[in-house]
Chains A and B, each alone.
Chain A
Amino acid sequence: MNRRDKLFVTGGILICLMIVVFSSFFASPNPDGLEKSAENFGVNETQAVITAPFPDYGIEGLDKIGEIGALVIGILVTLGLSWLVAILIRRKKQP
């Protein structure tokens, strides 16, 4: 990775962190379009088939900090997983 790419990754992570800090305070608590439609038709939100460690983007008992923490974990996991997968599936030979 050259300097510009490092800058891009650092900048990208910083922007992600800014977004989740902002959204944990200011994101709309209203249901999204699909949830609202489900409400209209009386479809209940049901239990997920697996137990997620941070359901609804929160850590139990930690309120706002937990929310930010869960989202930061999500960002890092997504970044790391994508990086790993991208390296595994990318083009190996020059064309």
Chain B
Amino acid sequence: MLLSLVLHGVIVVITLMSWQWITPLEEPPEPSISARLVSPEAVPPEETTAPPPQPEPDEPAPVEEEQREQQEEEQRRLEQEQERQRREEAEREEQERLEQQRREQQAAAEERERQAREEEAARERAEAEAEERARRQAEEERKAREEAERKAEEERQRQEQQRREEEERRRQEEERQRQEEERRRQEEAERQRQERARQQREQQLEQMAREAEEARLAEQRRREQAAAARARETEMQNERARYVSLIGQAIENQWYPPSSAREGMSVVLRLTLLPNGELQSVDVVESSGNRAFDNSAVSAARAIREYPVPDSRDTFERYFRQFTIQFEPEI
């Protein structure tokens, strides 16, 4: 009863408040709309927030006229609005007074009904409370049991979770260790690879160094040999010149040019000697055409028992193993 009364009161209040609020909002003044309609072209739609443009200097009168008419219109409308609001206020006050009377009557009736209902309600409430207590107790017991079960379950789940986590940790640990192991293995492999590469590089460097050293030694040997060869060559040339002179002298001492020998005659003999200077063979390779002249030369070559030849075998082999003698008298 009381509750319904309260509820009604609340409804009335809300209704009143709604009325108060809605009325002024039914016809809100909209001055800005009419103003915009007067000169729609002067204000670009995209510049609505911007300040209104300056009036054109050659058309000032029409704009001011328009504004003044608008203000007068606005004034008339406001006065009409105020008149209407005063009438509505008087009507509303009358209504409220009638309503107040009616509510006071209704409230006396409702108070009686309410007391009856309160008694009934108290009794029902006591029953309900007893019932409620029993139910609550049973509920509490059930809750306690469920709580215990829940906790047991939670504990189990917690343990399970713990176990899984433990398992996961172990697995992760193992994975980590495995990865670590793999990493170490790879690192080791890499280290060994690098070591091998380093050793290989070292070996290569050593090899290169060895080769460079060998090349250097070979070059040195080559230079020394070349120098020795040059020296030997010079020596051989000297020996050659010396023995050419000696052999030439020996031949001169043995050559009896025949009386038919003339200037311009020439016979060329090829001599082959043994290393001890003994004549092995002599051949006429270019005859003079004069047999006696040729013979005299051959005889001279054969007359020498032992040719002066160098002791060094290579000089002998190069120059004196076989050589030619040209007999060309200068008479």
Pairing of A with B: no
> Which residue numbers of A lie inside 8 Å of B, CB to CB?
none
